[in-house]
Amino acid sequence: MITKKKTNWFKMLFEWNGSVLPQLLPRLSILFIYSMLVVYFREDLLSYNIYINPAIFTLFGIALAIFLGFRNTVSYDRFWEGRKLWGALLNDTRSLARQAHTLVEGNDYDKERTHFIHLLTALVHALKHQLRQTEADGDLERLLPNSADDKFKTFVFKPIMILKELGVWVNKAKLSGRIDPITQANFDLNLNKISDIIGGCERIASTPIPYTYSILLHRTVYIYCFLLPFGFVESTVWITPFVIVFIAYTFVALEAIADELEDPFGIQPNDLALEAMSDMIENTLAEIDNKKIDAIPSPQGYYII
């Protein structure tokens, strides 16, 4: 994800990083060349009455803009729900780490508390990798180096199995008399919240916007853009290619942004910064565990992916 401080209005006109323009340039170039050809053969086209009344494009463009607006709203809702889920994950892991340090009795239990917090951190990184469909072995080896913890590498749903291990840890603390049943219930409440967060992220990742709807909108946008020159060629002549590319950029960019935000857990420039959020959760849990951490740099002005 890109987080960048907004510059003045003029510099933003030429902003490149974080814009969908780089991926649209080939398509817009094809449309520009196509519009040039229409203008070049305009006399022949007009002689055969191959011309479309611009009023039709006005009416159809309004309807298309409404559909694109709805598509972007749906995609942004998915993006924002994913962000809220990861914000809740930060809160609940902090609560569990605090409970492990303040409610579990015994000064000789520090090693076990650290193991509990490492399990929490490993769960966060495992969830990140599951959502991005990448390998979590590196983070698991770093956070859970003991040979007994190699079992997590063989599981498909690693975050859930680590969550199970957290529940086992709480139960062992209860059986050893370090926490009472009420405290155990409070631990379990936060573990259930994390289970809901994992399920919510899996729901977003595994349920894309219906493909047939995306295909319909995609076809409509490009058919509309490639018909536009026939409505402007008589009135704007050689300015037509520039007018068409500008109008097409608006519609095509909206569709591209919606596609990018539809899966908020990916690695595209405007997806959620899961790597940075996972590292931030790891750092805050380490501080709760009385570990010294390096200063976290400001995210403004660079990529965080």
pLDDT tens sequence across 36-77? 999 999 888 888 888 888 888 888 888 898 989 999 999 999
pLDDT at res. 18: 72
Q: Which residue has the higher pLDDT, 174 or 301?
A: 174
Query: Can you give the pLDDT at residue 302?
Result: 38
Can you read off the two tokens belonging to residue 60?
């159809």
Angle at which helix 54-102 crosses helix 229-236, to 10 degrees, equals 120
Residue 222 and residue 277: Cα distance in Å, rounded?
Answer: 37
Which residue blocks in the chain are alpha helix, DSSP H?
9-12, 21-40, 42-47, 54-102, 110-132, 137-143, 158-175, 181-206, 211-227, 229-236, 240-262, 274-288
Write the pLDDT tens digit of every residue in 138-187.
Answer: 999 899 887 555 678 789 999 999 999 999 999 999 999 999 999 999 99
pLDDT tier for residue 293 given thresholds of 50, 70 and 90:
confident
How confident is the model at residue 303, as a pLDDT? 40
What value does the mean pLDDT take over residues 87-99? Answer: 96
H or E stretch including 3?
strand 2-3
Q: 121 or 22: whose pLDDT is higher? A: 121
What amino acid occupies position 142? R
- At 266, give phi and psi (nearest 5°): -80, -160
Q: What pLDDT, in 10s, does the model give residues 1-42? A: 666 666 676 777 777 777 888 889 999 999 999 999 999 998
pTM above 0.85, yes or no: yes
At 5 the pLDDT is 65
225-270 pLDDT tens trace? 999 999 888 888 889 999 999 999 999 999 999 988 899 999 888 8
**DSSP class of residue 154?**
G
Domain ranges across the chain: 2-303
Average pLDDT of span 179-201 = 96
pLDDT at 149: 58
Bridge partner residues of 2 (DSSP): 303
Phi, psi of 302 (to 5 degrees): -150, 170
pLDDT band at 301 (very low <50, low <70, confident <90, very high): very low
| Percentage of the chain lying above the pLDDT 70 cut | 92
Residue 70 half-sphere exposure toward CB, CA atoms < 13 A? 9
Share above pLDDT 90 across residues of the chain, in percent, rounded to a whole number? 58
Give the per-residue pLDDT at 298: 47
Identify the sign of the CA torsion 86, 91, 97, 103: negative
